A and B are shown apart, each in its own frame.
Chain A
């Protein structure tokens, strides 16, 4: 009997354990043989033999179960160990592409104004003189037209130089009040380190009853917007001049590179110009037939925002489809 206890304890696999179990508990196993011997034993001894055998049976059963559990655990462990891999080989890089930083910046700008209940309006890139200039208080002889070198077509149409014509179109077919932005591509005949013949703008317009819209309102939304875009920055307004607004201002933010200390990007001034804005000139309202209204307008260049937010140095690289730049925005 004892050697079987030992055999169970030393069984090295679930299979060998099973064969031991058969040898012990099987129909021809040793327990059956021992019980068979009982028949020939003296009657008074039978009870004792039966009792002993039953004790052995019980012990062996639990010993077998215990050993089986141990062996199964060991075997699972061994199998898993055999399945070991070098996970560090499979550090992975996403195969995703990316949206363009300028378009993504435009989306963020549009998101802000949409959440502030501005409507989004778009218009054609090919415009006429009236919508692009005349209605915006830029008559043909106006010196400010020098500021915008325009692409013309042979039939006197032109490529819009700003998205302001969309505001004119919107005002011509809707009644006030108006709260809108116009995102889109615009074109100027200028191509060097800091200019591309095509770039993107978002312009905004708010029109309500006369005396309702003030410069203070314009300051409020632009300060909030710039903090949403650039985080913790200072905002400064400087009086300026645009033909379609009056009073007009240019808006600077404290330099995002040097935190206002002065660096190459901000030409040592500590400030970066990011926006133009103002109170809508009455001549613009006159051109679209609006009476007794007041309003504010603003406009910004999306490339400039994208370059400042992502610290991109070269404007022209934005239009080259260069994956070395684009893959950084995944």
Chain B
């Protein structure tokens, strides 16, 4: 909603309020200031009158004018098409400095002297009006020749754009905003100027009849006008330009202007709209239409009340027209439109938020304007359809108000605020208020709404903060523990060199399917995705990580390490949390340590890093269900015997497609990662012995098999074992040598050489019998 200070001044006296104070007040009462612009017309731009206007002898498009600027008469050459003798105009005299930076000096234009410039609105810093120069009229004040234009308040106005919340339809008009200010500044709203009702030739009843058989919750009021053309005064045109509104005709402009001023919804119908039968009186029938909206019918549907006016019914030409003011409650019209969607016109924005119910106000305002700027004749009387409205009464006590606010506010302050807002206080005795709510405040329906009004006008900044006193209670929740667990793993990931990456949960379905992922079932899919590339919810974190890594490489990164802890969705759209990692390119930064030539990331180092984050796990080779994985470097991650995720090298084809070098990825079910309390086990106090064993095995024999056999042998002294070397040369053919290191220790003594030999024999024996392995 755009207002200007001068415009507001029509409805409330703001002459002593400066613009900064006005903005502060708006913010304080909940009408947020979005933008503010002040127009200032430079000095030496003054009122002048064109006395004579003749064609330039050597230039078709130029006119040579004699202009009276009060103190003297100057010759000014002007190129505007609309310049003519007798009009009053804005003249930039010699020495003026225009907003564009141009200085006005005496010049010769095609050989003719010119001392000054006749200005258009935009040349003096005002919004663009019609083509050509700006013709002045007395709507801006008395036009005294030579007077500085900077002295006219309506030309030097301040525009303020307010961001209105959806409940404040009552402030969608200049008068509505002024009404809110009147409560804040505690000063009255000015009355609307009355049109002269006396000399009407004929009553409206002679030309129009209203018909309605249904009981409809709305108000309509009609006036009839014998319309003649209207000339909009400068101040109206200027204000419409400031709010960037220009309708198709001057009549439409005037209707819009009146609605914008008063909040009353106004329409004008051409006289023939309601001519149902030729030679008979026009009849307007009000009934519900096929979609159950209350509508106005003539021969055809003329308008849907509060929704739109049909184009054919609009008054455009001179002659008989019917002026209609309407009101329909915003909740009724919103509900109807929700139940039975229909095409809505511009007016719906206003009616669905609440237009002004005082129909006569809007009609009077419009007719007064029309009478002042047109020779149109207005018929006497009006026709109306008015359904009774239930009065909203709210009872609340001062102590209730004060408890909700948390501060003691005096009764007289509350009374003044409510009265200022137009609320009617009924039999308010002792501590109690019985408040009748005006119809235009449809947003006020219970006690808290009243408190809100008080808070707003007292000013929240004037409420003293007070700590809430509460009883101690254990509020630790499972969700909080879970939150802390996430935080711990995120920090562990970062500590191990990974950067946390956050991606939208949206992915592209065809891309996912192309890479072998299964998406949400079609009947549960997103109905209104924002773009094609975000048309489904992700079943994996991997695609997002892959794309992010690819972007980083394009920016010139040689090493990318990212992780994400985020939600993914199953085919049934069940949400679960995954922890995903990607490392691409260099193993480490290029430093002295690697002579600037770091190796590429490999499976072993990646696995080690992931283990630093999520703890111990085992890897078992498997074939992935998607197509991102290298078929021979792909593993299931197993913790405590359960599969919790997968780790793999990126398939070379995919790496290529994403411009990535060697890349490792891993995705883990976050729910499988435990951060349980640690229980200390008993540990041996005797020295541990280390023994290495080199086995010659077939290259396809998996370490996990050997591991299984050794574990099954349950050698008592064996604490742990792990691979330390893998070797292969040509002479070995399809075999490899695998060296394992065994840690042996007893709980009861230092192991003798004999004990160690026995233990190692039992391990080797198991390998020989179960796998047919031999020592190297």
Q: Using a CB–CB distance below 8 Å, which chain A residues touch chain B? A: 89-90, 93, 95-100, 102-103, 107, 110, 114, 117-122, 124-126, 140-144, 146-147, 151-155, 157, 177, 179-180, 183, 185, 187, 189-191, 196-198, 206, 208, 211-217, 219-221, 223, 236-241, 246-250, 267, 269, 279, 281-282, 294, 318-324, 326-327, 330
Q: Which of B447, B476, B528, B561 contacts A151 (CB 8 A)?
A: B528
Q: Is B452's beta carbon under 8 Å from chain A?
A: yes
B493 CB-CB contact with A under 8 Å: yes
Residues from chain B with a CB closer than 8 A to the CB of A197 are 504, 506, 530, 534
A122–B452 Cα distance when bound, in Å, is 30
Contact residue among A152, A155, A319 (Cβ-Cβ distance under 8 Å from B504): A319
Residues of chain B within 8 A (CB-CB) of A179 are 470, 473, 475
The answer to whether B502 and A214 touch across the interface, beta carbons within 8 angstroms, is no
8 Å CB interface, B495-530 against A? 495-506, 522-530
Choose one: B352, B463, B497, B552; the contact of A215 (CB below 8 Å): B463
With CB as the reference atom, state the residue of chain A lying closest to B335.
A141
Nearest B residue to A211 via CB reads B403
Interface-forming stretch among B360-368, B478-486, B619-627? B478-486
Given contacts A279-B451, A326-B500, whether A220 and B334 have CB atoms under 8 Å apart is no
CA distance A177 to B471 in the complex (A): 9
Per-residue interface assignment for chain B, residues 540 to 552, with 1 indicating a CB less than 8 Å from any chain A CB and 0 otherwise: 0000110111011
Picked from A107, A151, A198, A247, the residue with its CB within 8 Å of the CB of B487 is A107
Query: Are the CB atoms of A119 and B530 closer together than 8 Å?
Result: no
Partner of A247, one of B455, B464, B502, B569: B455
Q: Would you call A147 and B477 a contact (CB within 8 A)?
A: no
B554: shortest Cβ distance to chain A, in Å?
10
Alpha-carbon distance A248/B400, docked complex (angstroms): 17
8 Å CB contact of B451 from A118, A146, A247? A247
Q: Considering the chains assembled together, what is the distance between the CA atoms of A248 and B32 in angstroms?
A: 13
Indicate whether A90 sits within 8 Å of B592 (C-beta atoms), given known contacts A216-B466, A237-B461, A240-B165: yes
| Inter-subunit contact A153/B500 (CB<8 Å) | no
> Does residue B456 face the partner (Cβ distance < 8 Å to A)?
yes
- Are B527 and A99 in touch, CB under 8 angstroms? no
A281 nearest in chain B by CB position: B448
Q: Tell me, yes or no, whether B396 is within 8 Å of chain A by CB.
A: no
Residue on B nearest A94 in the bound complex, by CB: B497
A97-B563, A141-B335, A321-B548 are contacts. A117–B470 as well, Cβ < 8 Å? Answer: yes
* B167 interface hit (Cβ, 8 Å): yes
Q: Which of B456, B493, B525, B560 counts the most chain A CB atoms within 10 A?
A: B456
Task: Given A217-B406, A319-B504, A321-B545, output 10 extra A-B contacts at Cβ < 8 Å.
Answer: A96-B494, A153-B524, A185-B567, A196-B504, A198-B504, A221-B467, A238-B27, A239-B456, A250-B32, A330-B494
Give, as a whole number of angstroms, the nearest-CB distance from B363 to chain A: 27
20 A-B pairs in the complex with CB atoms less than 8 angstroms apart: A89-B592, A97-B563, A102-B502, A117-B475, A122-B479, A125-B505, A151-B529, A154-B524, A191-B530, A211-B403, A213-B468, A215-B455, A216-B407, A217-B467, A219-B463, A237-B461, A240-B165, A318-B502, A319-B503, A323-B499
Which one of B29, B167, B555 lies within 8 Å of A241 (CB-CB)? B167
Tell me whether chain B's interface is mostly helix, strand or loop, or mixed: mixed
- How far apart are B250's CB and chain A's nearest CB, in angstroms? 32
Among residues of B, the one whose C-beta sits closest to the C-beta of A294 is: B404
**B465 interface residue, CB < 8 Å from A?**
yes
What is the bound-complex CA distance between A288 and B687, given in angstroms? 66
How far apart are the CA atoms of A125 and B504 in the complex, in Å?
Answer: 13
Whether B446 pairs with A97 at a CB distance below 8 angstroms is no
CB-CB nearest in chain A for B457: A239
Of all chain A residues, which has the CB nearest B556? A324
**B589 with A95: CB separation less than 8 A:** yes
CB distance from B118 to the nearest CB of A (A): 35
Q: Specify which of A142, A196, A206, A321 is in contact with B334 (CB 8 Å cutoff).
A: A142
Quick one: which of B493, B506, B551 contacts A320, CB cutoff 8 A?
B551
Given the complex of chains A and B, what is the CA–CA distance between A183 and B5 in angstroms?
Answer: 43
The distance in angstroms between the C-alpha atoms of A99 and B167, with both chains bound, is 41
Give the docked Cα–Cα distance between A294 and B447 (Å).
13
Instruction: State in angstroms the CA–CA spacing of A191 and B504 once bound together.
Output: 12
Which residues of A have CB within 8 Å of B545?
321
Interface size counted on chain B using CB atoms at 8 A: 102
Cβ A241 vs Cβ B482 within 8 A: no
Q: Which of A96, A100, A140 has the most CB of B within 10 A?
A: A100
A214 and B466 contact, Cβ closer than 8 Å, known pairs A103-B500, A120-B477, A153-B527? yes
Cβ of B480 and Cβ of A119 under 8 Å apart?
yes
Decide: A154 and B480 in contact? CB cutoff 8 A: no
**Is A121 within 8 A of B477, CB to CB?**
yes
Which among A96, A154, A267, A323 has the greatest number of chain B C-beta atoms within 10 A?
A: A323
Across-interface contacts of B56 in A (CB, < 8 A) = none
Contacts A97-B561, A151-B528 given: A143-B448 contact, CB under 8 Å? no
Bound Cα distance from A121 to B588, whole angstroms: 40
Residue of A nearest to B592 (CB): A89
Instruction: Decide if B30 touches A239 in the complex (CB within 8 Å).
Output: yes
B490 within 8 A of A: yes
Complex CA distance for A282 and B562, rounded to whole angstroms: 46
Distance from B344 Cβ to chain A, minimum over Cβ atoms (Å): 12
Cβ–Cβ < 8 Å partners of B482 in chain A: 122
Q: Does A141 lie within 8 Å of B500, measured CB to CB? A: no
Instruction: List residues of chain A with CB within 8 A of the CB of B135.
Output: none
Name the distance in Å between B768's Cβ and chain A's nearest Cβ. 44
CA distance A215 to B480 in the complex (A): 27
4 tightest A-B CB contacts, nearest first: A214-B406, A216-B406, A321-B548, A239-B30
Residue of A103, A119, A213 near B502 (CB, 8 A) is A103
Contact with B494, one of A99, A155, A323 (Cβ below 8 angstroms): A99
> In this assembly, does B575 line the interface, its C-beta being within 8 Å of a C-beta of chain A?
yes
A150 CB, min distance to chain B CBs, angstroms: 8
Question: How far, in Å, is A238 (CB) from chain B's closest CB?
Answer: 5
Instruction: Please state if B406 and A215 are interface contacts (CB–CB under 8 Å).
Output: yes
B44-85 contacts to A (CB < 8 Å): none
Instruction: List residues of chain A with CB within 8 A of the CB of B493.
Output: 97
Which residues does chain A contribute within 8 Å of B494, judged by CB atoms?
96-99, 330
B288 interface residue per 8 A CB criterion: no
Structural contact, A282 and B446, CB atoms closer than 8 A: yes
Residue from B449, B490, B493, B547 with most neighbouring chain A CB atoms (10 Å): B490
Q: Tell me whether B232 is interfacial, beta carbon within 8 Å.
A: no
State A248–B452 Cα separation when bound (angstroms).
7
Q: Which of B447, B460, B573 contacts A239 (CB 8 A)?
A: B460
| Structural contact, B468 and A206, CB atoms closer than 8 A | yes
Across the interface, B404 reaches (CB within 8 A) one of A102, A121, A215, namely A215
Q: Given the interface contacts A126-B573, A197-B504, A246-B448, does A238 sit within 8 Å of B460 by beta carbon?
A: yes
Decide yes or no: A120 and B483 within 8 Å by CB, A125-B575, A151-B528 being known contacts: yes
Task: Report the Cα distance A285→B8, complex, angstroms.
Answer: 40
Nearest-CB residue, chain B, relative to A102: B502
- Does B168 make an interface contact (CB < 8 A)? yes
B281 close to A (CB within 8 Å): no
A120 to B528, CA, bound (A): 31
Question: What chain A residues lie within 8 Å of B495 (beta carbons)?
Answer: 96-97
At the interface, yes or no: B557 with Cβ under 8 Å from chain A? yes
Nearest CB of chain A from residue B406's CB, rounded to whole Å: 3
Which residues 561-595 in B have Cβ within 8 Å of A in the complex?
561-564, 567, 569, 573, 575, 588-589, 592
The interface residues of chain A lying within 8 Å CB-to-CB of B464 are 216
Residue of A nearest to B476 (CB): A119
